[in-house]
Chain A
């Protein structure tokens, strides 16, 4: 059985039979009529499944499946949105979902990284940051920095630092934070985040974990 988290930029597909995980760009997903899932979540999954699950609910249930603690915070930084849940006694205490702001999401970083050909695996965290009140204005500041002599990698690292500060604030400034999503694989992001709190990466499949219970009902 195929289940999927169809994000705005990346789609994670799990074959529950073989356990095989495939990650494809959503750019590719939208061009493939053959892809259909038993259970799905994410912006791009609604019309491609037998059963659809709200993605914040999928994140909540996936978190509880992967984290054993009673009290913890998790933030999922996606391509287009950021979701945050704080659990107390394994019950949702607070949640939030920043739906469409580039000041704390992956798509802006991907654009910048792609344009300036930045290798995030080798990029050191920046001590300085650009205030990213808005993703578009933040990008404009990166362009300004580069045009006045800052190395592009440094300017992007500064933007990333500004973005991390937004994510930290959005998550309620916890001492410890579980991270979900593509930034689990971004070393610069993780090192920057460690300036503010301890971080444990859960990878890109937390929402998929939250779909597994739904497969048992089919």
Chain B
């Protein structure tokens, strides 16, 4: 069997760890996990309107493209993801995929140490390491040194990581990404927690409901709200660059 034929287990958002474990045990621990949120070059499935969150579009397009290769999909559909995640799960079921819905309850919230969110290091790499903890929550063998924040990045992993390359290594991470590292993806209070006095970019994907939080928090904390749809462009980079230099 070639790589292109191998069966996979797809997931999106931050599913309950117990459910992800159960599905892996049921279908095989050897099946590779694939994060459907991440753009992987899948063609446009045409199943969603164009003006929709790119991350949700990635989920649907990836699932449509992988089709039968997906033995199962573990789908975050609760407050830990968003209503569009719930709709995406419905669409995937309608495609004929085996979808296992996850809603992360408060009594399963963890209290994990914020190693990558408050550590020193390149921002894209730290966000990648945080998102990997969804599948492998074991403590890192190479934790970064903790640092005081010079800047902040709030939000979700952007569809285009090039935005993150502008930020210095002493940028702290806030928002939903911090919630993932803490093991509490539906903790809205934690999601809205930002250190005072830190110049913070409040990022959201275009057409995402989190724009309401980003706008509100940017006003409250003197930050700047930035959104991006598909790929980053020079204008967005210039805006973030100016904010980092001037604030």
Contacts and interface: CB of A to CB of B under 8 A. Distances in A.
Does chain A bind chain B?
Answer: yes
Interface of A: 43, 46, 54-57, 60, 81, 85, 92-97, 99-100
B55 to A, nearest CB: 20
Interface residues of B, number: 14
B246 A56 contact: yes
Contact of A57 (B224, B236, B246): B246
B205 to A, nearest CB: 15
B235 A99 contact: yes
B165 interface: no
Nearest to B228: A99
Contacts of B239: 56, 97, 99
B247 interface: yes
B138 to A, nearest CB: 41
Nearest to B237: A54
Nearest to A91: B246
A58 to B, nearest CB: 9
Interface string B233-247: 011101101110111
Contacts of B234: 43, 46
Contact of A60 (B235, B236, B241, B246): B246
Chain A interface secondary structure, helix, strand, loop or mixed?
A: mixed
Interface string B196-235: 0000000000000000000000000010110000000011
A54 B222 contact: no
Contact of B242 (A43, A46, A97, A100): A97
B247 A56 contact: no
A203 to B, nearest CB: 21
Contacts, number: 40
Contact of B245 (A43, A54, A55): A54
A33 B241 CA distance: 29
B235 A100 contact: yes
A65 to B, nearest CB: 15
A91 to B, nearest CB: 9
A95 B247 contact: yes
B222 A93 contact: yes
Contacts of A94: 222
A60 B246 CA distance: 9
Nearest to A60: B246
Nearest to A96: B224
Contacts of B236: 99
B246 A92 contact: yes
| Residue with the greatest number of chain A CB neighbours at <10 A, chosen from B235, B236, B242 | B242
Lowest 7 CB-CB distances: which A-B pairs, in order? A56-B242, A99-B235, A97-B239, A92-B246, A54-B242, A57-B242, A54-B238
B228 to A, nearest CB: 10
A92 B235 CA distance: 20
A56 B238 contact: yes
Nearest to A52: B238
A54 B241 CA distance: 8
A60 B238 CA distance: 14
A140 to B, nearest CB: 16
Contacts of A93: 222
Contacts of A55: 238, 242
Contact of B243 (A81, A95, A99, A100): A95
Contacts of A81: 235
25 contacts: A43-B235, A54-B238, A54-B241, A54-B242, A55-B238, A55-B242, A56-B238, A56-B243, A56-B246, A57-B242, A57-B245, A57-B246, A92-B246, A92-B247, A93-B222, A95-B242, A95-B243, A95-B246, A95-B247, A96-B225, A97-B224, A97-B238, A97-B242, A99-B236, A100-B235
Contacts of B243: 56, 95
Given A81-B235, A96-B225, 12 more contacts: A46-B234, A54-B245, A55-B238, A56-B243, A57-B242, A60-B242, A94-B222, A95-B224, A95-B243, A95-B246, A97-B242, A99-B239
